[in-house]
Structure 1
Amino acid sequence: MPAFKNLPEPPRAAKKPVTDTRHGVTRTDDYAWLRADNWQSMFKDTSILDPEIRAYLEAENAYQDAAMADTADLRKKLFDEMKARIKEDDSSVPMKDGPFAYGTLYVKGGEHAHYFRTKRDKDGLKEILLNGDREAEGKAYCRFSGLDHAPGHDKGIWGFDDKGSEYFTLKIRDFKTGKDLADLLENTGGGGVWAPDGKSFFYTRLDENHRPSKVFHHILGQPQSSDRLVYEESDPGFFMGVGGSMLEDFIFIDIHDHETSEYRLLSTKNLTAEPMLVAERVEGIEYSMSEGGDVFYILTNDGDAKDFKIMQAPVNAPGKENWTEVVAHRPGTLILSVEAYKGHLVWMERHEGLPRIMIRDRVTGEDHSIAFAEEAYSLGLIGAMEYDTDWIRFSYSSMTTPSQLFDYNLKTRERVLLKTQEVPSGHKIDDYVTRRVFAPTADGEKVPVTLLYRKNTKLDGGAPCLLYGYGAYGISIPASFNTNCLSLVNRGFVYAIAHVRGGKDKGFAWYENGKMENKRNTFSDFIAAADYLVRQQYTSFDRIVAEGGSAGGMLMGAIANMAPEMFAGVIAAVPFVDVLNTMLDDTLPLTPPEWPEWGNPIDSREEYDYIASYSPYDNVGAKAYPPILALSGLTDPRVTYWEPTKWVAKLREHTTSNNPVLLKTNMGAGHGGASGRFQRLEEVAYEYAFALKVIGKA
């Protein structure tokens, strides 16, 4: 029986053909009108959205409401289950810094974090510095960028975005009075880096195209208009970030795209000086820096070190000509990050697909590692706030094991368990199985697939499966504990993550083989994973629901075009599906910085043709598409709302099946969806209800 019955007539977007000719190729886009001409201004004030566009989005929302109306009770049940697995009044283990330890907590029923501190080494009274629930009162959306305390521990920078557009407003909280100073900084990237005296800080400001193109120095008590411009990046293809060293000696200006980077340093001994260039940008060369007293440690891929190596250079002469090797490049062992402390060098690496933490004694040169024995797991290096310390912090979890937080002594190798994630409704590890299997591809590769299912789930091909994928920017999807997916697993699902090319799950080459002219490998890997799971009788094609978001939403659009018969349903969250049009529009926030990831179709006919060959929107055709759910945010600056909107309109026009194509647009949020922790659960419950509905278990 069909999962969707008695549906009203779906909205039909008007066709207003717009033609575009590039490299002698002319394309017609019937739905280009859904892109608001005033999108930059609309991100700050949604009331100015074109009424015709708003009416269409609201009609789509009404249609998906009708299509999913019969899942209302199921969604409530799913939400209640997921909420019951969350410790509502949870609190982090505070991190020590000077006389205090800083952390976050939640209160029962609260949506947002409260930032607190306690006296160092004492379990005393928590001093609330910023109450997130109070600050979010009256706002439909509110996301915080954190609270960065000043070196003197008397005040802190905090930021908020109340539209979902990722334009953050910064304020300064006085910890003694609990009130904010008069300083108000708008259109920032969120957060700032304090000068050592606590009288000023550095921050990035976003330009009209939503790019962090300028670094400013703000002196407390002065208006934002008088802030000094420290550095401006003129190349729209590069993003900037600003950070600081633990010793408070330097301000780091990090300039980067997805394959090239450049650092500029500002000594805090002279805040008005021009930032000093460390090593000029060279296409394809990446590096990052961490201060280690009299030296900098530099993580880089320079010299054909694809999986990265660690170098060092004197603090007073950090130029590339003075770099010397500390940790050599080892093909197949990807170094992810490095941190320096007074007595030890600490780095994260991924070896044979699994993460581990490496520690080196800076005096003796002796190395040792922190690793675990499970078949698939997630490891997070949290580190420390202080440079002169023997203790660092890390987290561990697996698909079956709730998150554990440890303090680790770098000298004695003592491991102290600080906290284990509580699941108030109960969780028995032995009821579940986690596995890592490998799906063969047509070109001879093997795609890692992480699985989670209940021990009593029959693996005879009849189990439903949610298959998740991402595969872009070198991002690896961790095999970590996820209380939400238990709502599917407990209903007999196999929950699977396909670690497709485009991520760095198997080293840097795994990323390279899933980008630019190799992008199609990402899509074929996901299809190979689905095929393998069926052949091994974990599931069947009419029981697989595919899910991905953002660049993973591009993956969803591609596999829906390439193999619609292999999936019972597709969930595409904020999906990047209009790839060719977006990469041809250099005014959009992410376009120039993303050319190294996808290609530049403006300058290159070859790259134009390749993107056109897979861009989901451009390849929609007369096919029997499965049920598709697209999720969008009106103020999303990363994947603009019109991408999924146009895609849905075109899918609905061309599909040869009777399966519905649904679009749910959050009219008050952006890329990350709802900002509150329980509001987010409602969105997950909606997605899961769709998955259950399309496989007949709603």
Structure 2
Amino acid sequence: MSHAEQTPQPPVTAKVPVTRTHHADTFIDDYEWLREKDSPEVLEHLRAENAYAEAVTANQESLREAIFQEIKERTVETDLSVPARKRGWWYFTRTAEGSQYSIHCRVAASDTGDIAADWTPPAIEAGVEIEGEQVLLDGNLEAEGKPFFSLGGLSVSEDGNLLAYAQDNAGDERFTLRVKDLATGELLPDVIENVFYGLNFSPDGTRLFYTVVDESWRPHQIKAHTLGTDPETDVVILQEEDPGMWLGFDLSADRTELMISIGNSEYSETLALDLTDEKAVPVMLLSREHRILHSMDPITLEGERAYVVTHDRGALNNMVSLLPANQVGAPYEQQEWATILEHRDTVKVEGTAATASHLLIAVRKDTTERVQILPLTGLGTAAQQPAVEPAFDEELYTASLAHAELEAPMIRLSYTSDFTPSRVYDYTLADGTLTLRKQTQVNNYDSSEYLATREWATAADGTKVPLTILRRAGITNESPNPVIVYGYGSYEASMDPGFGIPRLSLLDRGVVFVIAHVRGGGELGRQWYLDGKKLTKKNTFTDFVDATKYLLDTGWADPSRVVALGGSAGGLLMGAVANLAPQLYTGIIAQVPFVDALTSILDPELPLSALEWEEWGNPIEDAEVYAYMKSYTPYENVAALPYPKIAAVTSLNDTRVLYVEPAKWVAKLREETTGGEPIIMKIEMDGGHGGASGRYEGWKTRAWDYAFALDTLGLNPAGA
């Protein structure tokens, strides 16, 4: 048998030319036929792609299993969350060894008048049921017999008697809403199909609020369902017609107002619905016509209603202002906004939350997220007290607000870093006491054996790009190492420090894992984002390439052992750098990659396309945007280049990045590459944007990606 006969051969992808013309430019797309998801020919082709990927990676099976077992052994599988107090109950989740999903539970709280005792979480042991414990929802039972399971929301009525929950059993993020009587355990007859994320009860528990998506998968309606009635009669509270705007809602801290937000990445609008009046209609608080990107939180100050506004009105990195409710009806130019937190060039304000006594402000400073706490007394006046920020002992960490109940004497904070497993703290508002409630346990792990440090690469235009370099403590750049470079760089999303068990399996094999915080993300404030979107998007890609060159020039990376990794918009980044600098990478892993961006955004009927115009520009109406996007979109720029080994990982039911994008990209790469490395696509036939459901399936997915990377880096004991 010849070597050619032994080597797995990729499926032959038929060419069916389709012509697309915009702005006098014509593009011939040979693989657009793969978009027909229900076509037997397409499904057969996708199965053939999976078979080829399986054949190419067959030598990685034992490595995948080893990584999966390492993840499993390090994870304390039978565990529980720290109970959080809400309206007379302590709510928490349990996980059990051998089970894929969480179990949602509660136990009654006590009110003895001793604040410290009443607000100290009950001592609950992992795997041990306590007296009075009630199971609200067992994800494992819900998932039985179903190919996929994910929750899109949970809400308990004010009186604690009803549970509303939404579940997805396909991976397409269209949920079925059900209501459970917690006293009897019986389901009510109310069933609502095709709802989106987010649901809440009215204060009296007679109505449910939820969102609905349109044909392009954009949340465009908020509806109210009266329990016991036909869902066909549900009332539309608000409908948003602009295809470029996203609609959502949340409850005010005192649960008397439904705060409705409409917006995109550049400006927004807020309305409020009085939940104490069934006949109320939404009231405009701040209109989109002012082009202010903002969020609003209602508070009560000395008996008067007011709104805390986080906004970019003359404040690129946002500031926080106070708008009295009696000013809302005044003309915008005449409203008096009092400053709570002024704008700072070095600090980005991410948002606020409130208790009855304090304002909680999420800020980003020195690239990391932290929480500042401000008493409501004197807020927005000369008597305002200074903000307090809980201090931690690491340079690179993430501290965020986890839970704040209106009348609670303390707030819940979550804390993590790259090598500190998640911690849960309670912060006492009266005196600033920080109480550690839980340190997540990790088996076979010693944090002192690992290091996370910050270095800065210089981009071609002189911009300094932060890098987080993660490795075993004994590894230095005195000799080159196998390196994985990860990047995202879109939507102002920040790649914050956070602990991950799976990543340890890479580091323990000598890999240096580098996070390139490229422009388009939010790590260095709003300008960092603006410098990597629309007509500056290419900065995201060149920053990543320059970061890779820095790792090579400074001795961190072995030139023959560098793998690039990214997902979703980070998958677009992977496709772009594959075209820009294929010679720098031994391999590329693109997870649910947005690699056919121009085709998608040119079709407003496709899921989310119109919403993407604020991120990438509108190539339908703007010839300059069209030309710019065409110059970088990966699929259309595949050329006769020596592409490295590439794996595209996707899901059939993903509604955010359709499977067809990597399917077309992989076919085009195989057609054009001048190299001999395999280019494969692995497709999850029952998953969504996050892959298959269940924690074990998630671990297997991660193990697959990491085994592919390690094999590419020459770290697979099984060899070729």
If the TM-score is normalised by the length of the shorter chain, which range does it land in? over 0.9
Report 1:482-497 matches (<5 A): 482-497=500-515
Report 1:503-522 matches (<5 A): 503-522=521-540
Q: Which one of the candidate residues 675, 688, 698 is aligned to 2:706?
A: 688
Closer, same or farther: CA 462–614 of 1 in aligned 2, 3 Å: same
Report 1:139-218 matches (<5 A): 139-218=146-225
CA distance in 2, matches of 1:298, 1:583: 35
Post-superposition offset of 1:5: 11
Post-superposition offset of 1:410: 1.8
Report which stretch shifted further, 481-490 or 301-310: 301-310
CA distance in 2, matches of 1:296, 1:473: 30
Report 1:421-460 matches (<5 A): 421-424=440-443, 426-460=444-478
Report what 1:472 is aligned to. Answer: 490
Q: Which one of the candidate residues 213, 237, 241 is aligned to 2:244?
A: 237
Post-superposition offset of 1:624: 0.3
Aligned residue identity for 1:213: H
Post-superposition offset of 1:201: 1.5
For residues 77-105 of structure 1, the C-alpha deviation after alignment (integer angstroms, 9 at most, x for no partner) is 11000111211111001110121011111
CA distance in 2, matches of 1:599, 1:695: 37
Report 1:652-667 matches (<5 A): 652-667=670-685
RMSD: 1.5
Report which stretch shifted further, 119-128 or 406-415: 119-128
Aligned residue identity for 2:288: R
* Contact kept? 1:541, 1:565, Cα under 8 Å: no
Post-superposition offset of 1:156: 1.2
Report 1:243-282 matches (<5 A): 243-282=250-289
Closer, same or farther: CA 529–6 of 1 in aligned 2, 3 Å: farther
Answering whether residue 88 of structure 2 is matched by residue 99 of structure 1, we say: yes
Identity level (%): 40
Post-superposition offset of 1:317: 4.1
* Contact kept? 2:158, 2:203, Cα under 8 Å: yes
CA distance in 2, matches of 1:669, 1:57: 14
* Contact kept? 1:376, 1:450, Cα under 8 Å: no
Query: Match of 2:107, SS?
Result: strand
CA distance in 2, matches of 1:212, 1:278: 20
Aligned residue identity for 1:412: D
* Contact kept? 1:359, 1:367, Cα under 8 Å: yes
Q: Which one of the candidate residues 43, 52, 58 is aligned to 1:54?
A: 43
* Contact kept? 2:216, 2:609, Cα under 8 Å: no
Post-superposition offset of 1:458: 4.6
Query: Match of 2:631, SS?
Result: helix
Answering whether residue 638 of structure 2 is matched by residue 620 of structure 1, we say: yes
Report which stretch shifted further, 607-616 or 183-192: 183-192
* Contact kept? 2:450, 2:471, Cα under 8 Å: yes
Query: Match of 2:495, SS?
Result: coil
CA distance in 2, matches of 1:25, 1:383: 52
Q: Which one of the candidate residues 388, 394, 397 is aligned to 1:377?
A: 397
Closer, same or farther: CA 540–153 of 1 in aligned 2, 3 Å: same
Closer, same or farther: CA 180–657 of 1 in aligned 2, 3 Å: same
Answering whether residue 371 of structure 2 is matched by residue 353 of structure 1, we say: no
For residues 552-590 of structure 1, the C-alpha deviation after alignment (integer angstroms, 9 at most, x for no partner) is 000000000000011111000000010111110000121
Report 1:219-618 matches (<5 A): 219-282=226-289, 284-293=291-300, 294-318=304-328, 320=332, 321-363=335-377, 364-384=384-404, 386-424=405-443, 426-618=444-636
Q: How many residues align?
A: 682
Post-superposition offset of 1:322: 4.2
Answering whether residue 21 of structure 2 is matched by residue 32 of structure 1, we say: no
For residues 530-568 of structure 1, the C-alpha deviation after alignment (integer angstroms, 9 at most, x for no partner) is 111111111123211110000000000000000001111
Aligned residue identity for 1:22: H
Query: Match of 2:242, SS?
Result: coil
CA distance in 2, matches of 1:303, 1:688: 44
* Contact kept? 1:161, 1:169, Cα under 8 Å: yes
Report 1:627-666 matches (<5 A): 627-666=645-684
Query: Match of 1:291, SS?
Result: strand
CA distance in 2, matches of 1:526, 1:387: 44
Post-superposition offset of 1:437: 0.8
CA distance in 1, matches of 2:584, 2:503: 22
CA distance in 2, matches of 1:395, 1:521: 33
For residues 457-509 of structure 1, the C-alpha deviation after alignment (integer angstroms, 9 at most, x for no partner) is 25334311111100000000111111110000000011111111001101110
Report which stretch shifted further, 244-253 or 309-318: 309-318
Answering whether residue 27 of structure 2 is matched by residue 7 of structure 1, we say: no
* Contact kept? 1:170, 1:190, Cα under 8 Å: no
Closer, same or farther: CA 145–76 of 1 in aligned 2, 3 Å: same
Q: Where does the alignment leave 5 or more consecutive residues of structure 2 unmatched? A: 110-117, 124-129, 378-383
Query: Match of 1:541, SS?
Result: strand
CA distance in 2, matches of 1:577, 1:665: 15
Report which stretch shifted further, 367-376 or 544-553: 367-376
Report what 1:83 is aligned to. Answer: 72
Q: Where does the alignment leave 5 or more consecutive residues of structure 1 unmatched? A: 40-48
Report what 2:112 is aligned to. Answer: none
For residues 112-160 of structure 1, the C-alpha deviation after alignment (integer angstroms, 9 at most, x for no partner) is 1111001224444331111110000001111112421110101111110
For residues 408-431 of structure 1, the C-alpha deviation after alignment (integer angstroms, 9 at most, x for no partner) is 01220101000001112x211111
Answering whether residue 129 of structure 2 is matched by residue 119 of structure 1, we say: no
Post-superposition offset of 1:628: 0.4
Post-superposition offset of 1:269: 2.1
* Contact kept? 1:258, 1:594, Cα under 8 Å: no
CA distance in 1, matches of 2:163, 2:7: 53
Report which stretch shifted further, 114-123 or 683-692: 114-123
* Contact kept? 1:295, 1:312, Cα under 8 Å: no
TM-score using structure 1 length: 0.96
For residues 499-533 of structure 1, the C-alpha deviation after alignment (integer angstroms, 9 at most, x for no partner) is 11001101110000000111000011111111111
CA distance in 1, matches of 2:44, 2:265: 37
For residues 370-405 of structure 1, the C-alpha deviation after alignment (integer angstroms, 9 at most, x for no partner) is 233423212221131x21222111111111211111
For residues 320-364 of structure 1, the C-alpha deviation after alignment (integer angstroms, 9 at most, x for no partner) is 424332111111210011011111111011112122211112215
Aligned residue identity for 1:389: A
CA distance in 1, matches of 2:609, 2:291: 18
* Contact kept? 2:299, 2:308, Cα under 8 Å: no
Post-superposition offset of 1:64: 0.2
* Contact kept? 1:160, 1:190, Cα under 8 Å: no
